[in-house]
């Protein structure tokens, strides 16, 4: 194919993102051609409902009801998968596209988190590429930054807020004084939640993204099953207020780093300093912080979802392929990706611990004793007013291992002084 030959797209999935991609290609055709050195055109599309008004003309495009058939068309050079889901039509169509000798651009984080290694091997054995900027942090070019701009760095840590729904809930709990349940319902009404809300509030969606970042950053095989996941469902308004009293905010924070014990990947609620970039992140915005041995720290901030931002990320990948830029899926050839040893929270850190104690003499002393026996020292302890014969106690520990804290929590739960199960949140200093 000569450089002047148009790059012909087949787009599977015409929801919010797919429609956004169509709009960019139709409205900015001259700009895309000038930047790519060739035309970028759409030849065929696929979606379940052909009659729905999507606010953009689909005239002139061939229509396939089966995305696999779209992936196999002779007049499609690049297959754009925007269906979603880690199994079913999306997976079948991507595999069909690779088998038919097509490059692939996808926004499907779940597909790559579960099948990334196999798909990367298939693509690279066929001399094809898979690009997926839109799968992680919406419009933020974080994959491109790791693969290209920061390729001269040994990455030491990647962290970030990568689910706008969770950040919206936590931010507005503090601003409005409303509880988790009320804001969850508001997100449902606004259409911010996935069809399965646990993908958002349970940290699964963000965990998929973190597993992809870990692979690119550390040259390892994608291992979503090794991601330590904890959602935001147990965060109460009092936790938000207590954190603010200490100069922190609570975020669903993804962190991955290579340690002496193995690869750490965790997507859990954490306390971050209110003065830090992550602490100042409000609403549905995403942020990714990359630390490397040459650049020290790079902060990327932007919209994590929505038609424009996500379609922009898709088109960034399309343009790279149009220009002839070809990079292995995860930065190094798939057969050279190492299989990392999982390390669950292997680095020590201070923790926030909230325990509801029964109004009994010696209750606080018993908790302090259990923590001491586990080798955990207390930095700060504060007891709040009684509520229904329950005394909320807030403890901030010195640095300790999460495993030791978990063992202490198990022992605390077995005492007769606990009224509500403890909530433990890591304090992450940036």
DSSP 134: G
**Integer angstrom CA distances of residue 419 from 241, 369, 381:** 20, 18, 18
Residues annotated catalytic, as ranges: 209
Report in angstroms the alpha-carbon separations of 301 from 187, 201, 429.
22, 21, 18
Residue 137 token pair: 């942090």
CA angle 119, 120, 121 (to 5 degrees): 90
Residues 235 and 270: their CA atoms lie apart, in Å, by: 10
End-to-end alpha carbon distance in the chain: 48
> How many residues does this entry show for the chain?
430
By DSSP bridging, strand 248-259 and strand 262-273 are antiparallel
List the structure tokens of 95. Answer: 């595999």
Q: Which residues pair with 273 in a beta bridge?
A: 248
> What distances in angstroms separate CA 320 from CA 17, 95, 121, one per listed residue?
19, 21, 20
The Cα–Cα gap between 151 and 389 comes to 57
CB 177 within 8 A of CB 241: no
Contact 170, 243 (CB under 8 A): no
Q: Collapsing DSSP states into helix, strand and coil, what is residue 37?
A: coil
- Distance (Å) of CA 128 to CA 121, 123, 213, 328: 10, 5, 21, 9
């Amino acid at each position: 194919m000569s450089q002047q030959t148009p790059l012909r797209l087949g787009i599977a999935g015409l929801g919010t993102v797919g429609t956004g991609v169509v709009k960019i290609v139709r409205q900015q055709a001259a700009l895309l051609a000038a930047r790519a050195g060739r035309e970028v055109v759409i030849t065929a599309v696929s979606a379940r409902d052909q009659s729905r008004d999507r606010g953009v003309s689909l005239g002139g495009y061939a229509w396939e009801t089966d995305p696999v058939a779209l992936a196999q068309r002779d007049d499609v050079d690049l297959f754009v998968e925007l269906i979603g889901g880690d199994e079913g039509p999306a997976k079948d169509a991507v595999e069909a596209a690779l088998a038919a000798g097509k490059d692939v651009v996808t926004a499907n984080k779940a597909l790559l988190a579960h099948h990334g290694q196999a798909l990367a091997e298939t693509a690279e054995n066929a001399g094809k590429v898979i690009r997926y900027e839109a799968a992680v942090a919406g419009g933020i070019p974080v994959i491109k930054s790791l693969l290209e701009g920061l390729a001269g760095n040994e990455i030491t840590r990647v962290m970030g807020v990568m689910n706008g729904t969770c950040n919206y809930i936590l931010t507005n709990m503090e601003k409005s004084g409303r509880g988790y349940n009320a804001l969850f319902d508001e997100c449902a009404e606004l259409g911010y939640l996935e069809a399965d809300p646990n993908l958002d509030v349970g940290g699964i969606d963000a965990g998929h993204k973190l597993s992809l970042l870990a692979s690119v950053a550390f040259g390892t095989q994608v291992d979503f099953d090794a991601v330590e996941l904890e959602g935001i469902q147990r965060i109460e308004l009092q936790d938000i207020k207590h954190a603010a009293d200490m100069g922190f905010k609570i975020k669903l924070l993804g962190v991955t780093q290579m340690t002496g014990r193995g690869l750490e990947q965790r997507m859990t609620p954490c306390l971050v300093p209110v003065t830090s970039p992550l602490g100042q992140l409000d609403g549905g915005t995403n942020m990714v912080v990359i630390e490397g041995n040459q650049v020290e720290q790079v902060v990327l901030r932007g919209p994590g979802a929505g038609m424009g931002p996500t379609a922009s990320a898709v088109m960034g990948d399309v343009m790279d392929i149009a220009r002839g830029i070809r990079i292995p899926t995860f930065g190094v050839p798939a057969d050279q990706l190492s299989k990392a040893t999982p390390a669950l929270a292997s680095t020590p850190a201070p923790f926030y611990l909230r325990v509801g104690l029964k109004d009994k003499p010696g209750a606080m002393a018993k908790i302090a004793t259990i923590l001491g026996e586990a080798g955990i020292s207390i930095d700060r302890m504060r007891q709040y007013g009684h509520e229904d014969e329950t005394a909320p106690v807030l403890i901030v520990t010195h640095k300790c291992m999460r495993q030791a804290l978990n063992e202490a929590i198990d022992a605390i739960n077995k005492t007769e002084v606990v009224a509500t199960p403890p909530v433990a949140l890591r304090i992450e200093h940036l």
